[in-house]
């Protein structure tokens, strides 16, 4: 059943997306929240790779293959790499904030971080 | 078709180079040197952006990086589409950033000279964001802008509150980035293109579930940046903790650019596809906008932390801009941009003034500041003039935006928008007036307060030097003069109107990118509505004064006249919504996404 397998990456992407959102919403630990964000992000990798996949396609390195050969889409892979770079920065920044928060308040719970509300 | 100007990428390249240079010498440079370099690079950016604007007035040009021109219908390179609106926004961005850097000259704590390079990165990202014609490039600049913003917001890491504010800001806006990226992935899957004009041409009139899903994700993603209710919860927390010049950049530029991206994407990609359902879409966008106006205005009046008060006023005014956009004709876009310009100038002025208050009086809470500002005449003048500007009192340029909106609403056949203007103008202005009366006039007694205001904010400047210099007053004064001078400056309205008619026209945009030439259509006049808009602004200001008086002198009034103090206590559910917990914010964001998505799915697909 190739058509079921073909849509599997999209199901996985959707599943990861909701896992990430659920994790963020219910998180009681700042590191857990950051990791949930990373899980949410992996759904975009899955989606991009799923979109670019061609059945029977080879890797898009054109050094040793004939020009007419079917390859997977290199554009989405470039997008995904950019995405990884950008998001690594965000995760690093967030984790640095968590460290700072722990130093200042001795807690890693989002509820204890709340000084401003209303 | 005019040839592309060779300096199109410079408003992005110059600040990024400056940021790199500054970051390299940060450890050894003294504060004065780092500030000078920052200001120099921002000034050069401003010059290039202005030259670009002047060049683009002769016609929109497209700059293809590395001369990768399109082959037929296939775009193979990345292009900057330099139109008057994009270049104009880049100029405004560079100008406000320059003013912020001048304001912070050896004054705002720069976190070991981290501040100046981050501001330059932020500037470069915003310029790229408004100029690019490639949707993935838009995402990259969006993320660059966000990351610089997270770091700028959490610059004062000595206290827990900035960490909370910037953590919530970072989490919600990163989710926004993923929504945008997912939307882009779906568009790429549907069309195989990343250039907005090519995507728009490939989608054409197709409005199946995939297109509507991509539209929902992109719109909601940028709504998070634009702080549309219920995606707005990060904004007051971030504004309350960021240093003043950063608040100026957030409120006057970044939030509006979120809305600009929605408009840009709608008119370059989805206009033709969604045009059969234009009235449904208008209803959807207008509902979100109107709710944002009402909630933002109500919360603005209920805040006693000056920066949070101004932050909610930004929420309110951005909602108003969304309502203007929802009219979806080219005049509405011109009116929205005129209003955006007015708002940027006036809100910058108010934030600069709040920074002066925080510096001089070492607090930001209305109750703590009560009667302590009676000697600060200059600051008081700036504060009250800003309040008048928020109400749209003539001769502030906001009334031109309102006049254009009335005309656009007439064309679209929509009534009642002037009431929203009246509400937004009067309630935000009343909140600012109330704070001003308490702080500078010492009127009334025993001001109310709220929880966030009691937490307050640590001063962001060094205490040994309480003196204030001319260059702290220059940026707010410049903003006021600009906001008034633009009203009397002839000609720019017509330029804005004509360029908006090209901007808000998908076919014209596609023709521009593919260099096939396009014809501008004749535009309706908008000047005839100016007298009535001026009247509205005047009445809104009078009403604002009345409302502020019922709040300040509540003890002397009978119970049924204490409208102001009733509003000032705020509404408990709205305050609970602003819980400060990142999980709650993500939940609200998901609810907003689901509501928007289900209405869009039910109404827009076939």
- The reply to whether B149 and B86 lie within a common domain is no
pLDDT at B596: 94
pLDDT at B184: 95
Closest CA to B196 of B179, B217, B218, B212: B218
User: Is residue A107 assigned to a domain?
Assistant: yes
- The reply to whether B222 and B358 lie within a common domain is yes
User: Is residue A12 assigned to a domain?
Assistant: yes
User: Is residue A87 assigned to a domain?
Assistant: yes
What's the number of domains chain B is made of? Answer: 2
User: Is residue B203 assigned to a domain?
Assistant: yes
Is the per-residue pLDDT at B156 higher than 90? no
Is the per-residue pLDDT at B458 higher than 90? no
Is the per-residue pLDDT at B463 higher than 60? no
pLDDT at B39: 94
Q: Give chain B positions within 8 Å (CB) of A97.
A: 154, 157, 163, 166-167, 170
- The reply to whether B476 and B347 lie within a common domain is yes
* Mean per-residue pLDDT over chain B, rounded: 89
Contact B580 A93 (CB under 8 A): no
pLDDT at B439: 92
pLDDT at B17: 95
How far is CA B599 from each of CA B187, B295, B328, B603, rounded to the nearest angstrom?
20, 21, 18, 6
Contact A97 B583 (CB under 8 A): no
Residue of B nearest to A36 (CA): B171
Encode pLDDT of B304-321 as tens digits: 999 999 999 999 999 999
Contact A48 B185 (CB under 8 A): yes
Q: Give chain A positions within 8 Å (CB) of B181.
A: 44, 83
What pLDDT band is residue B512 in, cutting at 50, 70 and 90?
confident
Query: CB of B170 within 8 Å of any CB in chain A?
Result: yes
Largest interatomic CA distance in chain B: 75
- The reply to whether B110 and B221 lie within a common domain is no
Window 402-431 of B, Cβ < 8 Å to A: none
Burial of residue B67, with CB atoms counted within 10 A of its CB: 0-12 exposed, 13-18 middle, 19 or more buried: exposed
Residues 6+ apart with CB under 8 A from B89: B130, B257, B260
Q: Answer yes or no: are the C-beta atoms of B529 and B406 closer than 8 Å.
A: yes
pLDDT at B2: 61
What's the number of domains chain A is made of? Answer: 1
Q: Answer yes or no: are the C-beta atoms of B122 and B149 closer than 8 Å.
A: yes
**Who wins on pLDDT, B549 or A110?**
B549
User: Is residue A65 assigned to a domain?
Assistant: no
Is the per-residue pLDDT at B530 higher than 50? yes
Is the per-residue pLDDT at A60 higher than 90? no
Distance between CA B117 and CA A59 in Å, rounded? 40
- ipTM of predicted complex: 0.94
Contact B163 A100 (CB under 8 A): yes
Encode pLDDT of B390-439 as tens digits: 998 888 898 888 888 988 888 888 888 889 999 999 999 999 999 999 99
Q: Of B211-215, B240-244, B524-528, which gets the smallest average pLDDT?
A: B524-528
Smallest CA–CA distance, residue A51 to chain B, in Å, is: 6
Q: What is the mean pLDDT of residues B269-274?
A: 90
User: Is residue B285 assigned to a domain?
Assistant: yes
User: Is residue B138 assigned to a domain?
Assistant: yes
Window 241-260 of B, Cβ < 8 Å to A: 241
Window 62-81 of A, Cβ < 8 Å to B: 75-76, 79
Query: CB of B76 within 8 Å of any CB in chain A?
Result: no
pLDDT at B462: 61
Is the per-residue pLDDT at A5 higher than 80? no
Query: CB of A107 within 8 Å of any CB in chain B?
Result: no
Smallest CA–CA distance, residue B575 to chain A, in Å, is: 4
User: Is residue A101 assigned to a domain?
Assistant: yes
Q: Of A92-106, B455-469, B565-579, which gets the smallest average pLDDT?
A: B455-469
Is the per-residue pLDDT at B460 higher than 80? no
- The reply to whether B255 and B404 lie within a common domain is yes
**Which residue matches tokens 């008034």?**
B484
- The reply to whether B148 and B80 lie within a common domain is no
Q: Answer yes or no: are the C-beta atoms of B65 and B79 closer than 8 Å.
A: yes
Q: Give chain A positions within 8 Å (CB) of B583.
A: 24-27, 33, 110
- The reply to whether B106 and B162 lie within a common domain is no
Q: Give chain B positions within 8 Å (CB) of A110.
A: 167, 581-583
Contact B150 A33 (CB under 8 A): no
* Number of A–B residue contacts, CB under 8 Å: 139
What pLDDT band is residue B40 in, cutting at 50, 70 and 90?
very high
Residue of A nearest to B454 (CA): A116
Give residue B84's domain range: 1-132
Q: Give chain A positions within 8 Å (CB) of B455.
A: 115-116
Burial of residue B310, with CB atoms counted within 10 A of its CB: 0-12 exposed, 13-18 middle, 19 or more buried: buried
Interface test with A, best of B128, B173, B182 (most A CBs within 10 A): B182
- The reply to whether B108 and B150 lie within a common domain is no
Contact A79 B240 (CB under 8 A): no
Helix (H) and strand (E) counts for chain B? 27, 2
Is the per-residue pLDDT at A68 higher than 50? yes
Distance between CA B303 and CA B449 in Å, rounded? 8
**Which residue matches tokens 């104009």?**
B88
CATH number of A29's domain: 1.10.287.3510
User: Is residue A64 assigned to a domain?
Assistant: no
Encode pLDDT of B66-122 as tens digits: 888 888 888 888 999 998 999 999 999 999 999 999 998 877 777 778 899 999 999
Smallest CA–CA distance, residue A14 to chain B, in Å, is: 10
What pLDDT band is residue A1 in, cutting at 50, 70 and 90?
very low
Last residue of a domain, one of B75, B101, B132: B132
User: Is residue A47 assigned to a domain?
Assistant: yes
Give residue A46's domain range: 2-56+70-113
Last residue of a domain, one of B71, B97, B132: B132
**Who wins on pLDDT, B598 or A110?**
B598
Encode pLDDT of A89-104 as tens digits: 999 999 998 898 888 8
Last residue of a domain, one of B77, B112, B132: B132
- The reply to whether B271 and B356 lie within a common domain is yes
- The reply to whether B116 and B156 lie within a common domain is no
User: Is residue A62 assigned to a domain?
Assistant: no
pLDDT at B522: 60
Q: What is the mean pLDDT of residues B527-556?
A: 89
Q: Answer yes or no: are the C-beta atoms of B183 and B190 closer than 8 Å.
A: no
Smallest CA–CA distance, residue B570 to chain A, in Å, is: 9
pLDDT at B195: 92
- The reply to whether B547 and B474 lie within a common domain is yes
- The reply to whether B429 and B447 lie within a common domain is yes
Encode pLDDT of B284-295 as tens digits: 999 999 999 999
Residues 6+ apart with CB under 8 A from B458: B156, B158, B159
What does the CA dihedral B219, B220, B221, B227 come to, rounded to 10 degrees? 110
Instruction: Tell me the DSSP string of chain A.
Output: -HHHHHTHHHHHHHHHHHHHHHHHHH--SHHHHHHHHHHHHHHHHHHHHHHH--TT-B-S--SSS-TTS-B--HHHHHHHHHHHHHHHHHHHHHHHHHHHHHHHHS---HHHH-----
């Amino acid at each position: 059943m190739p058509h079921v397998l073909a849509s599997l990456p999209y199901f996985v992407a959707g599943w990861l997306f909701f896992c990430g959102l659920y994790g963020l919403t219910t998180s009681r630990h700042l590191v857990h929240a950051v990791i949930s964000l990373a899980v949410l992000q992996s759904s975009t990798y899955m989606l991009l790779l799923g979109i670019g996949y061609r059945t029977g396609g080879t890797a898009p390195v054109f050094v040793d293959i004939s020009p007419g050969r079917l390859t997977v889409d290199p554009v989405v892979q470039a997008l995904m790499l950019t995405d990884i770079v950008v998001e690594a920065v965000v995760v690093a920044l967030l984790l640095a904030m968590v460290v700072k928060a722990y130093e200042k308040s001795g807690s890693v719970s989002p509820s204890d971080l709340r000084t401003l509300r209303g | 078709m005019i040839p592309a100007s060779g300096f199109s990428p410079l408003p992005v390249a110059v600040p990024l180079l400056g940021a790199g240079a500054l970051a390299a010498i940060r450890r050894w440079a003294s504060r004065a040197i780092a500030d000078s370099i920052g200001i120099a690079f921002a000034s050069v950016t401003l010059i290039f952006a202005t030259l670009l604007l002047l060049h683009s007035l002769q016609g929109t040009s497209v700059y293809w990086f590395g001369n990768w021109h399109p082959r037929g219908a296939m775009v193979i390179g990345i292009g900057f589409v330099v139109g008057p609106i994009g270049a104009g926004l880049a100029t405004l961005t560079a100008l406000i950033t320059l003013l912020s850097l001048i304001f912070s000259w050896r004054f705002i704590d720069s976190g070991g000279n981290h501040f100046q390079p981050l501001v330059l990165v932020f500037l470069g990202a915003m310029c790229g964001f408004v100029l690019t014609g490639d949707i993935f490039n838009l995402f990259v600049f969006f993320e660059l802008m966000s990351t610089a913003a997270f770091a700028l917001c959490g610059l004062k890491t000595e206290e827990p509150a900035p960490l909370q504010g910037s953590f919530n800001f970072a989490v919600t806006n990163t989710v926004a980035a993923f929504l945008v990226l997912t939307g882009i992935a779906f568009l790429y899957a549907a069309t195989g293109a990343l250039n907005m004009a090519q995507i728009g041409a490939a989608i054409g009139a197709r409005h199946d579930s995939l297109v509507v899903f991509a539209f929902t994700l992109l719109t909601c993603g940028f709504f998070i940046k634009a702080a549309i209710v219920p995606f707005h919860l990060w904004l007051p927390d971030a504004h309350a903790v960021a240093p003043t010049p950063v608040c100026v950049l957030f409120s006057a530029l970044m939030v509006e650019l979120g809305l600009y991206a929605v408009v840009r994407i709608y008119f370059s990609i989805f206009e033709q596809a969604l045009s059969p359902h234009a009235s449904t879409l208008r209803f959807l966008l207008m509902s979100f906008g109107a709710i944002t106006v009402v909630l933002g205005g109500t919360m603005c009046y209920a805040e006693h932390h000056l920066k949070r008060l101004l932050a909610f006023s930004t929420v309110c005014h951005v909602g108003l801009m969304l309502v203007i956009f929802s009219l979806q004709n080219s005049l509405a876009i011109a009116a929205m941009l005129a209003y955006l310009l007015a708002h940027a100038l006036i809100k910058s002025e108010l934030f600069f003034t709040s920074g002066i208050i925080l510096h001089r009086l070492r607090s930001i809470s209305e109750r703590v500041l009560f009667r302590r500002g009676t000697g600060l005449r200059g600051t008081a003048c700036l504060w009250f003039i800003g309040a008048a500007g928020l109400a749209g009192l003539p001769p502030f340029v906001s009334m031109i935006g309102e006049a254009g909106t009335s005309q656009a609403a007439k064309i679209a056949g929509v009534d009642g928008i002037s009431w929203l203007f009246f509400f937004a103008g009067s309630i935000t202005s009343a909140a600012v007036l109330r704070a001003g009366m308490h702080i500078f006039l010492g009127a009334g007694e025993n001001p109310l307060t709220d929880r966030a205001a009691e937490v307050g904010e640590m001063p962001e400047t060094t205490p040994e030097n309480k003196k204030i210099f001319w260059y702290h007053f220059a940026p707010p004064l410049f903003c006021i003069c600009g906001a008034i001078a633009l009203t009397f400056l002839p000609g720019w309205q017509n330029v804005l109107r004509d360029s908006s008619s090209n901007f808000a026209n998908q076919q014209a945009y596609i023709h521009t990118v593919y260099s096939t030439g396009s014809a501008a259509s004749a535009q309706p006049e908008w000047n005839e509505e100016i007298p009535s808009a001026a009247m509205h602004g005047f009445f809104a200001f009078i009403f604002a004064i009345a409302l502020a008086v019922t709040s300040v002198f509540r003890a002397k009034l009978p119970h049924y006249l204490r409208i102001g103090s009733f509003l000032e206590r705020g509404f408990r559910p709205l305050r609970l919504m602003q819980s400060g917990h990142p999980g709650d914010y993500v939940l609200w964001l998901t609810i907003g996404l689901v509501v928007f998505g289900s209405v869009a799915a039910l109404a827009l697909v076939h």
